[in-house]
């Protein structure tokens, strides 16, 4: 028995923020961001909630699959930036969809969430009697987790949602193998202590006329410096900051991405070269390029949307998958690899037959 992807969908917020726009918020440039990351723009949810984005992506996936919301038995939502601590983001999306027959819950594996959620849904479809179809959705508003005064991190992230409809099938199609990996983040290389609670440098029209210094001054009352926040490793509410040691994350990502993809291929009994398309976590074009080189695959096999979306955390793989499918890059019968990595530290890969 297996489970296969019947349909995909994704959603981006209306506001598109280019690198040039961001250079009015922090001291940066299109040249620096594009050269180091491949990112040209990202979308920022000013009015959209994570529920709005998630519901929209799911509706498109349902339409693509030709399935009604009432036929969904399970919703697994992966997010690090939910609208509420509870109800779960999955419960809010369930209500928005009218998926009245679905069991639902959230899963947080940071930016590797997509691979973890797909694996979890696949496993439940195999083992739970009566469960036949699942919606697996990643919905993120990273704009509420980043520190908009920290140019080294805020330029990297964006908001969005992606979803797939997964259906149990009787043959060994669809998901063929899955690898999940964790390592302790002993050096605190990637951490968000709480959702963003400071000022916000955007309006529905675009970037607000405010300097980084003004935003920093307004956030100061409730904030901490990066060093203070890093020193208090049990802090859960005081520092509204995403904290990252970029070079360390870069090293982790370029090491684990090829490792987990190779392991998943070995487990599936296929060669890496047989993957027609790889859908990597969209964190940095250079990370993807390194991984491609290590695996001996041409970069063209790796589908990217990062230029337009930035890093949308656990939504990114589903968003890129949707884009690849709609662009006609994924044909029935082809082998597809999906891989992610993120805070935790987490990493994972799935190999499936389309």
281 is catalytic: yes
Asked whether position 311 contacts ligand COA by CB under 6 A, the answer is yes
Please calculate the CA angle 324-287-15 and round it to the nearest 5 degrees. 55
108 is catalytic: no
Q: How far apart are CA 28 and CA 21, in angstroms?
A: 10
247 to 306, contacts with ligand COA by CB under 6 A?
A: 247, 249-250, 253, 283-284
Number of residues that bind ligand COA (CB under 6 A): 20
Q: Which two tokens stand for residue 335?
A: 């082998």
193 to 252, contacts with ligand COA by CB under 6 A?
A: 244, 246-247, 249-250
Asked whether position 32 contacts ligand COA by CB under 6 A, the answer is yes
Asked whether position 44 contacts ligand COA by CB under 6 A, the answer is no
Stretch that binds ligand COA, among 28-36, 163-171, 319-327, 328-336 (CB under 6 A): 28-36
Residue nearest ligand COA by beta-carbon distance: 246
Contacting ligand COA (CB under 6 A), which of 4, 10, 25, 37? 37
What string marks each residue from 135 to 174 as x (binds ligand COA by CB under 6 A) or -? ----------------xx--xx------------------
Which residue out of 8, 77, 104, 111 is catalytically annotated? 111
Nearest to ligand COA of 62, 156 (CB atom): 156
Least separation in angstroms between CB 286 and ligand COA: 7
Q: How far apart are CA 166 and CA 164, in angstroms?
A: 6
Which residue out of 43, 122, 281, 303 is catalytically annotated? 281
Least separation in angstroms between CB 4 and ligand COA: 27
Least separation in angstroms between CB 251 and ligand COA: 9
Stretch that binds ligand COA, among 33-41, 46-54, 79-87, 135-143 (CB under 6 A): 33-41
Asked whether position 105 contacts ligand COA by CB under 6 A, the answer is no
Q: How far apart are CA 278 and CA 110, in angstroms?
A: 20
Give catalytic residues, as residue numbers: 111, 281, 311
* Interaction site with ligand COA (CB under 6 A): 28, 32-33, 36-37, 111, 151-152, 155-156, 244, 246-247, 249-250, 253, 283-284, 311, 342
């Amino acid at each position: 028995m297996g489970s296969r992807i019947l349909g995909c969908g994704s959603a981006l917020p209306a506001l598109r923020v280019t690198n040039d726009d961001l250079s009015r918020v922090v001291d940066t440039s299109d040249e620096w961001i594009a050269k180091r990351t491949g990112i040209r723009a990202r979308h920022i949810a000013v009015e959209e909630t994570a529920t709005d984005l998630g519901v929209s992506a799911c509706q498109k996936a349902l339409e693509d699959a030709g399935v009604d919301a009432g036929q969904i038995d399970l919703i697994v939502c992966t997010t690090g930036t939910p609208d509420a601590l509870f109800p779960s983001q999955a419960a809010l999306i369930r209500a928005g969809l009218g998926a009245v027959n679905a069991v639902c819950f959230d899963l947080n594996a940071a930016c590797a969430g997509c691979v973890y959620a797909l694996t979890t849904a696949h496993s439940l479809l195999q083992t739970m009697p009566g469960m036949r179809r699942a919606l697996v959705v990643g919905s993120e508003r990273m704009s509420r987790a980043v520190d908009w005064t920290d140019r080294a991190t805020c330029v990297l992230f964006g908001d969005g949602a992606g979803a797939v409809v997964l259906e149990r099938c009787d043959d060994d199609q669809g998901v063929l193998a899955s690898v999940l990996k964790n390592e302790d983040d002993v050096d605190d290389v990637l951490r968000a202590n709480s959702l963003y609670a400071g000022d916000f440098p955007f309006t529905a029209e675009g970037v607000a006329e405010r300097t980084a210094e003004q935003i920093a001054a307004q956030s100061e009352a409730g904030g901490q410096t990066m060093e203070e926040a890093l020193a208090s490793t049990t802090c859960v509410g005081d520092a509204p900051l995403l904290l990252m040691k970029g070079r360390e994350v870069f090293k982790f990502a370029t090491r684990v991405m090829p490792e987990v993809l190779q392991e998943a291929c070995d487990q599936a009994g296929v060669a890496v070269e047989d993957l027609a398309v790889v859908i990597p976590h969209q964190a940095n074009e250079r990370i993807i390029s390194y991984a491609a080189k290590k695996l001996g695959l041409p970069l063209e096999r790796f589908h990217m949307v990062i230029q337009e979306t930035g890093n949308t955390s656990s939504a990114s793989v589903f968003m890129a998958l949707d884009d690849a499918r709609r662009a006609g890059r994924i044909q029935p019968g082809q082998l597809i690899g999906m891989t992610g990595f993120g805070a935790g530290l987490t990493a994972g890969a799935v190999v499936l037959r389309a």
